[in-house]
Amino acid sequence: MKLELGKIKINDIQFAEKTYVKDHVLYVNKEEVEALVLEDDKLLGCSLDIARPGDKTRITPVKDVIEPRVKVKGGEIFPGMIGKVTPPAGEGRTHALDGCCVVTVGRIVGFQEGVIDMSGPAADYCPFSKTVNLCVVIEPKEGLETHVYEKAGRMAGLKVAAYLGEAGRDIEPDTLETFETKPIFEQAQMYPDLPKVGYVHMLQSQGLLHDTYYYGVDAKQFVPTFMYPTEIMDGAIVSGNCVAPCDKVTTYHHFHNPVIEDCYKHHGKDINFMGVILTNENVFLADKERHSDMVAKLAEWMGLDGVLITEEGYGNPDTDLMMNCRKVEQKGVKVVLITDEFPGKDGKSQSLADTCDEATALASCGQGNATLHFPAMDKVIGTMDYIESQIGGWAGCVNEDGSFEAELQIIIASTIANGFNCLAAKGY
């Protein structure tokens, strides 16, 4: 499967009479976007705002972050969600508006929605403090059930990202890269002397607003399967979850999975990147056992020499992580784990809920319990009403001037457990 990915650099977003891209600026027709969002009768209101790097602006509660993209050749964007499921993602040509994002904001769905500060100390921890963001602030109908509200917010974000992406259809991209993974036997023969490496990608699927979608399928309903990496780079996986903000894998991060990006950089040089084993993190022990068995079986069947494993969320998914590690190692395949840590505010607790003897190599993405001071901002997009009950905050953490103290885990993607950010652990 082969994907051409063209990136169109976007340096600014401005509201205008119509939606188009010119000279690296994305011009947006506000009315059209608001009308698109309000097609959904579950939403009463929609307002747009622009947040730029360096602004004294806070965005919260953030639901998802999405990069605007368009399929120029091949299937449709976000297959199974808003695009047709066939042909599948991962082939043809896609244009991305690089450097800008759609951020969905609004009254909290659950309690696990986060903060993006466009400047100040918290900006260092968040990738979306460095992008120009079109914030889509939604207002749900009164009395909506939470899962219905979550879906309305999720679909609004995807629709706006696809609408903006269309503006890049006929623009010549600044960079054009090609990514390709071949069918298993051909791929193995291509670099016979290099170690065959796979990626075990664990999707959040605990339910109760902790869900991810694979071609529109709720991730808790599938059994582990094989994916070409380009499918993931091309919108086959969409976030629908309200997991702790710090390690939420947003839809943006599925496009930009750093494990896939780095494995492709090494592909044909020092590794043979064979593909992705997709699995989930369900809430029943039998699912965890069955699916880790299947992951190990696929790793063995693909003839892998080594795998990298990432998880999403923390707590009981640590058990899925360790089961995958143990069972894959027992098949004679080397494992490196990538995850973040939660050792408590004092740093003294066990930082993962589970462990196993086979877990001998782990790259840490930092810890989410460290606290930080968030200074008052000139402008808040969304509302500060829920900070104390958002994960990472606590009763009384907000000061009168609008500043607050909170754990790093309140910041979107601050310790994301796939290595997208720069935090790490240091050994002494």
Q: How far is the CB of 77 from another protein (least distance, A)?
A: 33
C-beta of 55 vs 150, nearer to another protein? 150
C-beta of 36 vs 353, nearer to another protein? 353
Question: Could you identify the residue written with the tokens 């929609």?
Answer: 46
Q: Which two tokens stand for residue 301?
A: 């069947």
C-beta of 162 vs 359, nearer to another protein? 359
C-beta of 206 vs 367, nearer to another protein? 206
Interaction between residue 250 and another protein (CB under 8 A): no
Q: How far is the CB of 355 from another protein (least distance, A)?
A: 6
Clarify whether 242 is annotated catalytic: yes
Work out which of 184, 188, 190, 283 binds another protein, going by CB under 8 A.
283
Q: How far is the CB of 349 from another protein (least distance, A)?
A: 11
152 φ, ψ to 5°? -60, -45
Question: Could you identify the residue written with the tokens 């991730």?
Answer: 219
Strands across the sheet with 196-204, in order?
225-227, 272-281, 196-204, 306-310, 334-341, 362-367
Q: How far is the CB of 353 from another protein (least distance, A)?
A: 5
| Separation of alpha carbons 195 and 119, rounded Å | 43
Question: Could you identify the residue written with the tokens 């090494």?
Answer: 266
Residues 6 or more apart whose Cβ sits within 8 Å of residue 357: 326
Interaction between residue 293 and another protein (CB under 8 A): no
Work out which of 35, 44, 217, 285 binds another protein, going by CB under 8 A.
285
Is the four-CA dihedral 232, 237, 243, 249 of positive or negative sign?
positive
Stretch touching another protein by CB under 8 A, among 172-180, 268-276, 352-360, 378-386: 352-360
Per DSSP, the three-state class of 220 is: helix
How many residues appear in the chain? 428
Interaction between residue 258 and another protein (CB under 8 A): no
For the chain, how many helices (H) and strands (E)? 8, 24
Q: How far is the CB of 145 from another protein (least distance, A)?
A: 16
Per DSSP, the three-state class of 127 is: helix
Beta bridge partners of 352: none
C-beta of 238 vs 325, nearer to another protein? 325
Of 242, 263, 325, 397, which one is the catalytic site residue?
Answer: 242
Q: Which of residues 127-186 bind another protein (CB under 8 A)?
A: none
Q: How far is the CB of 279 from another protein (least distance, A)?
A: 16
Interaction between residue 354 and another protein (CB under 8 A): yes
Question: Could you identify the residue written with the tokens 């003897």?
Answer: 357
C-beta of 206 vs 421, nearer to another protein? 206
Alpha helices of 221-316 — where are they, by DSSP H? 229-233, 251-255, 258-266, 285-301
Q: What would the x/- binding string for another protein be over residues 197 to 236, using CB under 8 A?
A: ---------xxx----------------------------
Q: How many residues bind another protein (CB under 8 A)?
A: 15
Q: What would the x/- binding string for another protein be over residues 311 to 350, using CB under 8 A?
A: -----x-xx--xx---------------------------
| Separation of alpha carbons 170 and 148, rounded Å | 36
Dihedral angle, C-alpha 414, 252, 213, 343, nearest 10 ° = -10
C-beta of 67 vs 329, nearer to another protein? 329
Helix (H) or strand (E) holding 320: helix 317-330
Interaction between residue 284 and another protein (CB under 8 A): yes
Q: Which of 247, 187, 179, 185 is nearest to 212 (CA)?
A: 247
- Positions touching another protein (CB under 8 A) are 206-208, 283-285, 288, 316, 318-319, 322-323, 353-355
Residues with a catalytic annotation lie at 242
